[in-house]
Amino acid sequence: MINKKSLWFLTLFSLILVLSIYYITMPSELLLTTNTNNLTEEQEEVNIDVEESDLLVALRVESDEAMTKEIEELQLVLTNAESSVDDKNKAYEKIKELNDVRGEEEKLETQIKENYKLDSFIKIKDNQIQVTINSSEHSESLANNIMRTIQSNYDGSKYITVKFQK
């Protein structure tokens, strides 16, 4: 005699089998036209002009990936039941610090954009600030002005480097 579990299993299995056979025997032209319609709709939406330098985008992506990886590792420490309270506190403080640094970087990039009308990428590590400017003009006075602008945001002295790249 067939019990309820077996009956449900056979019913669902036969349904999956019928749908699989239907999908396999479907005319391939129907699948191709559906896919090409979707692709043309997606291509129309994706055409966006990017004004920012590929170098700046690559630097941002690399920085974001490194930060995301570090935050994921710290979150593993936070969610691990075997981690001590001290380790969890240190991990939480480090995540908070990373988020603060990211906010500072974005604030400084916005400040450079507003003051000098230049696209930039800023990386802060400890007391070092690396600035990459998207400009073919290599001006010492502009670099000094950018360094002064960034230094004005901090009480203590920072080691600031400015690099021009196009």
Cα 134 to Cα 29, 30, 114, 165: the distances in Å are 48, 48, 14, 5
* pTM over the 0.75 mark: no
User: DSSP code of 84?
Assistant: -
Are the C-beta atoms of residues 116 and 124 closer than 8 Å to each other? no
Between 50 and 85, residue with greater pLDDT: 85
pLDDT at 32 over 50: yes
Confidence of residue 138 (pLDDT cuts 50, 70, 90): confident
- Give CA–CA dist 13/23, Å, rounded: 15
pLDDT in tens, 140-162: 999 999 999 999 999 989 999 99
pLDDT of amino acid 8: 86
Confidence of residue 111 (pLDDT cuts 50, 70, 90): very high
pLDDT of amino acid 43: 55
Q: Which of 107, 123, 116 is nearest to 56 (CA)?
A: 123
pLDDT of amino acid 132: 92
What domains can be seen in the chain, in order of their start residue? Answer: 54-165 (1.10.287.4300)
pLDDT at 40 over 60: no
pLDDT of amino acid 77: 87
Are the C-beta atoms of residues 118 and 112 closer than 8 Å to each other? yes
- Give CA–CA dist 104/125, Å, rounded: 11
